[in-house]
Chain A
């Protein structure tokens, strides 16, 4: 079976994880969860995975139960320590990697989980809420923005509301000016593309095209002007080992292959 876009996204995320990293896996982010688990079961056995406030040892698991429901006490069987949410909030400045979703993501990597519209009391669409993202993304060493919908509806010029600050209104010193200690968003990962942020302006830039998408398709489906570099490199395809672990142990049900 050919590699799906969601599998490529998971493989890319997996490669961002260093062995030993402290990572918190967020709610309702099955693709990032798959990426983190793939890293853990391949090159990052010493990563510290925090799921639902349990520190878990998942290195020897045959297969993972459920990528879709993190707030699930079944993960307790893998727990080697439990932290209160308060202790987790206190430890965010230690955290190496986290993931943020968004119903809107703007040119500078600010995200919105609050709602769409101009009047907060009369929204066109009310989102689920910020969950832990505002504080985590202010403080975590680096983070990745994830969406399953690469369209002008999600990738917008300006978010209607902001639940997290990425690079604010742009510039490499944007976060320093706000006094935010965390390292900010590194990549935006969509089913069509991997995007990063230009070094000086921090405007979103195309890094990799995920097949079968094309540059034209990506540009047409982005609600603002993306920075397009002169030469676009190809993402290194998944190795046999990455694909095998992903399909047999991380995602045996085939959620990322459109099966579950």
Chain B
């Protein structure tokens, strides 16, 4: 009898599928469900020339900008809400070290839909009358063939590799968020390859016991990586809240860097990115006390 193949791979192997210059799609939402373990591996290897297509972003995109990894950015937001309304490097270096193709969430959703629907463009009302068409070559004005006012249309955005964090998956790549999916389903559908890191690997029986919880069926998933606490320092639905302290540590170091004192940020990279050779080494560097203290009920 033939056997179904597992799609579970090591983190390092997953990262190796993302070359310099790739277009990557990042899932999650602001400070929740960011695929940090995979992104940290890319940071460790200093991937270059990336085009980043991302759901509203937290500080992970800012870190990638700080490390000089990003050439082009397509995301509706970079910041950490009240912890930091903007990302320090995103705010200082936009247009200087990387290009921005301006979108809001509705525009991003439209670009992704156009991609997987196989249409040359779709109208997006949110861009009408805003600066988005001037600030994004993928947006153009078009006369309404039905006689209404002109509309803005969005061209498809193609993603080479989508990187997503979710609660659990089985060995065949059936993924369950067990919570909000944010834009992850669209990013996955618009991508040529999809890698999902999960807090927990579960049996196919467990997935089948709650098939309505499956948010990304295995058709949409090429690889699964086991990464417990893999969203840290962002929050992970059902598992832990965000690590505000570590985010503030990064923000302090980043601000010092931009004021001319490079040492704190170099120390931050050394401690959290370069010295830990593996994801487990990273978790050890953060410390179990700290990680276990991030329960959802505080």
A and B from one assembly? yes
Considering the complex, which residues of chain A in the window 110-169 have a beta carbon less than 8 Å from any beta carbon of chain B? 110, 112, 114-115, 119-123, 125-139, 161-165, 168
B224 at interface (Cβ–Cβ under 8 A)?
no
> Cβ of A72 and Cβ of B102 under 8 Å apart?
no
> Cβ of A27 and Cβ of B77 under 8 Å apart?
yes
Q: How far is the CA of A74 from the CA of B113 in the complex (A)?
A: 30
Question: Contact partner of B149 among A73, A86, A179, CB < 8 A?
Answer: A179
A54 at interface (Cβ–Cβ under 8 A)?
yes
> Cβ of B86 and Cβ of A135 under 8 Å apart?
no
The stretch from B36-44, B235-243, B282-290 touching chain A is B235-243
**Most chain A CB atoms below 10 A, which of B85, B106, B186:** B106
A68 at interface (Cβ–Cβ under 8 A)?
yes
> Cβ of B95 and Cβ of A89 under 8 Å apart?
no
Q: How far is the CA of A85 from the CA of B29 in the complex (A)?
A: 10
Known contacts A86-B186, A128-B79, A179-B148; is-contact A115 B29 (Cβ 8 Å): no
B104 at interface (Cβ–Cβ under 8 A)?
yes
Known contacts A52-B32, A123-B94, A126-B91; is-contact A138 B126 (Cβ 8 Å): yes
> Cβ of A168 and Cβ of B135 under 8 Å apart?
no
B76 at interface (Cβ–Cβ under 8 A)?
yes
A231 at interface (Cβ–Cβ under 8 A)?
no
Give B96-118 as 1s and 0s: 1 = Cβ < 8 Å from A's Cβ atoms: 10011011111101000100000
Closest to B33 in A: A73
> Cβ of A120 and Cβ of B95 under 8 Å apart?
yes
Tell me which residues across on chain B come within 8 A of A70, comparing CB atoms. Answer: 81
Question: Contact partner of A132 among B86, B105, B181, CB < 8 A?
Answer: B105
Closest to A115 in B: B94
Give B124-141 as 1s and 0s: 1 = Cβ < 8 Å from A's Cβ atoms: 111111111011000000
Q: How far is the CA of A136 from the CA of B33 in the complex (A)?
A: 23
Q: How far is the CA of A52 from the CA of B180 in the complex (A)?
A: 8
Q: How far is the CA of A126 from the CA of B87 in the complex (A)?
A: 10
> Cβ of A162 and Cβ of B128 under 8 Å apart?
no
Closest to A84 in B: B181
> Cβ of B32 and Cβ of A72 under 8 Å apart?
yes
Known contacts A76-B179, A135-B106; is-contact A181 B82 (Cβ 8 Å): no
> Cβ of A122 and Cβ of B95 under 8 Å apart?
yes
**Most chain A CB atoms below 10 A, which of B102, B127, B148, B236:** B102
Tell me which residues across on chain A come within 8 A of B174, comparing CB atoms. Answer: none
Considering the complex, which residues of chain A in the window 80-111 have a beta carbon less than 8 Å from any beta carbon of chain B? 82-86, 89, 92, 110
> Cβ of B183 and Cβ of A86 under 8 Å apart?
yes
> Cβ of B81 and Cβ of A178 under 8 Å apart?
no
Q: How far is the CA of A124 from the CA of B242 in the complex (A)?
A: 31
Q: How far is the CA of A85 from the CA of B31 in the complex (A)?
A: 15
> Cβ of B56 and Cβ of A135 under 8 Å apart?
no
Considering the complex, which residues of chain B in the window 234-273 have a beta carbon less than 8 Å from any beta carbon of chain A? 235-238, 241-242
Nearest Cβ distance between residue B145 and chain A, in whole angstroms? 13
> Cβ of A162 and Cβ of B96 under 8 Å apart?
no
Closest to B237 in A: A73
Q: Count residues of B near A (Cβ-Cβ below 8 Å).
A: 65
> Cβ of A71 and Cβ of B32 under 8 Å apart?
yes
Closest to B150 in A: A179
Question: Contact partner of B128 among A86, A121, A122, A180, CB < 8 A?
Answer: A180
> Cβ of A163 and Cβ of B104 under 8 Å apart?
yes
**Most chain A CB atoms below 10 A, which of B29, B87, B105, B238:** B105
A28 at interface (Cβ–Cβ under 8 A)?
yes
Question: Contact partner of A30 among B82, B105, B148, B297, CB < 8 A?
Answer: B82
A69 at interface (Cβ–Cβ under 8 A)?
yes
A57 at interface (Cβ–Cβ under 8 A)?
no
> Cβ of B106 and Cβ of A73 under 8 Å apart?
no
A177 at interface (Cβ–Cβ under 8 A)?
yes
> Cβ of A74 and Cβ of B241 under 8 Å apart?
yes
Q: How far is the CA of A119 from the CA of B92 in the complex (A)?
A: 14
Question: Contact partner of B82 among A68, A129, A161, A164, CB < 8 A?
Answer: A68
B30 at interface (Cβ–Cβ under 8 A)?
yes
- Of all A-B residue pairs in the complex, the 3 with the closest CB atoms, nearest first, are A135-B106, A135-B126, A121-B95
Q: Could you name 21 residue pairs across A and B whose Cβ atoms are closer than 8 Å?
A: A27-B77, A28-B85, A52-B180, A68-B82, A69-B81, A71-B30, A71-B32, A73-B238, A73-B296, A85-B182, A86-B185, A112-B131, A121-B95, A125-B91, A126-B86, A127-B91, A128-B86, A128-B91, A130-B104, A138-B125, A162-B130
Interface residues of A (CB under 8 A from B): 27-28, 30, 52-54, 68-74, 76-77, 82-86, 89, 92, 110, 112, 114-115, 119-123, 125-139, 161-165, 168, 177-181
Give me 15 other A-B pairs in contact (C-beta within 8 A), A68-B82, A84-B182, A126-B92 excluded.
A27-B56, A52-B29, A52-B180, A69-B242, A71-B58, A73-B179, A76-B237, A85-B105, A85-B183, A128-B91, A129-B75, A134-B127, A135-B104, A139-B125, A178-B128
